[in-house]
Amino acid sequence: MSGRLDLDKIHLAYGARPVLDGVSLSFRAGEVTVVIGPNGAGKSSLLLCAAGLSRPHSGEARLDGRPMLDLAPKARAQAVAYLAQTTEIAWPITVRALVGLGRLPHHGVWGESDADRAAIERAIRAAGVEVLSDRQVATLSGGERARVLMARGLAGAPRFLLADEPTAGLDPGHALDMADLFRAQAKEGVGVVVTLHDLSLAARAADRIVVLAWGEVLADGAPEDALSEETIAAAYGVRARVLQRDGGLSVEIISRA
């Protein structure tokens, strides 16, 4: 896969409060970008604009140079998978059927094809939810639902995967598995953009970290550059210790700044 997903001077406000204030970023296929920042920083709004699900007041998102909002909804859904924070499912459905919804943008006039069914099984394996595949989604824990929803996103074989807090509710082992899944998808050429609160997990997962605060980009670079103690203090108002350990960076929060 190849391609770019660009945000050009995105400005978005809710009432008088700016949420994104002229943000410009470029996301590339084959790269894991983790967006971090305090609550209310604009991370979720950034993903919604990037996915073409929210119209900014000015600026635009572009996929390979084409304005995202000019694309037909089906074309957008084929190219970009978006996973929201919520893991609530409001209707009775099995895991396999839910994952299958990720293939809807690819269905032809005859409905689900052999290629669709193969993609669904690949996604179930990739997300590690094979043992859940015949269960009703309503019987799953929040963490299990999060993994199943990731499988639904993968089923569409998107060029870009945008996920808002996909590790929320996961135990440490499954959170590490999710980080490894992001890396595996990037190796296959998918552009992965995720928001996370766990700074050490962000350092493990990311090729690149974007630090967002007050609707502005404070830092954008490799984890060892973006996760400086000074930047963490500016973004979160905390004192932190950034340590280099086997396997990468580790961030320890010490106190309020």
Give me the domains of the chain, ranges plus CATH numbers. 4-256 (3.40.50.300)
For residues 83 and 164, the answer to whether their CB atoms sit within 8 Å is yes
Which H helix or E strand runs over 8? strand 4-14
| pTM > 0.85: yes or no | yes
User: pLDDT tens across 137-163, in order?
Assistant: 999 998 899 999 999 999 999 999 999
Give 207's DSSP letter.
S
Question: In this predicted model, what pLDDT tens digit does every residue of 111-138 receive, in sequence order?
Answer: 789 999 999 999 999 999 999 999 999 9
Closest CA to 55 of 1, 86, 26, 14: 14
CA distances from 169 to 7, 29, 109, 207 (A): 29, 27, 38, 23
Q: Give the angle 147-111-158 at the CA atoms, nearest 5°.
A: 40
182-197 pLDDT per residue, tens: 999 999 999 999 999 9
What is the chain's pLDDT, residue by residue, as a tens digit (257 residues)? 569 999 999 999 988 888 999 999 999 999 999 999 999 999 999 999 999 999 999 999 999 999 999 999 999 999 999 999 887 787 889 999 999 999 999 987 677 899 999 999 999 999 999 999 999 999 999 889 999 999 999 999 999 999 999 998 899 999 999 999 999 999 999 999 999 999 999 999 999 999 999 999 999 999 999 999 999 999 999 999 999 877 688 999 999 98
Q: Which among 194, 229, 223, 195 is positioned nearest to 208, based on CA atoms?
A: 223
CA pair distance 117, 57, nearest whole angstrom: 40
